[in-house]
Amino acid sequence: MSDHTREGGDERPLAGRVAVVTGASRNAGRGIAVELGAAGATVYVTGRSAGDHVATDLGTGTVDETARLVDEAGGEGVAVRCDHTDDGQVAALFERVAAERGGLDLLVNNVWGGYEGYDEEPFDAPFWEQPMDRYDRMFDAGVRAHFTASAHAAPLLGAGALVVNTTAWDRDRYLGAVPYDVAKHAVTRMVYGMALDLRERGVTVLALAPGWMRTEYLREQYGVDDATAHEHPDLARTESTRYVGRAVVALATDPDVAEKSGEVLQTGALAGEYDFVDVDGRRVPPFTLPSDDRLD
Active site residue 115: no
What is the maximal distance between C-alpha atoms in the chain? 56
Q: Which of 180, 192, 217, 243 is catalytic?
A: 180
Give CA–CA dist 103/118, Å, rounded. 38
Give CA–CA dist 141/60, Å, rounded. 19
Give CA–CA dist 27/206, Å, rounded. 20
Strand partners, 69: none
Give CA–CA dist 47/26, Å, rounded. 9
CA distances from 232 to 105, 115, 212, 288 (A): 39, 25, 14, 19
Beta-strand (E) ranges in the chain?
18-21, 42-47, 76-81, 104-109, 157-166, 204-209, 213-214, 239-240, 264-266
**Helix 267-274 and helix 241-252, axial crossing angle in degrees, nearest 10:** 50
Give CA–CA dist 25/68, Å, rounded. 11
Across 92-130, b (16+ Cβ under 10 Å) vs e yields ebbeebeeebeebbbbbbbbbbbbbeeeeeeeeeeeeeb
Strand partners, 195: none
Q: Which of 137, 153, 126 is nearest to 58 (CA)?
A: 137
Residue numbers annotated as active site: 180
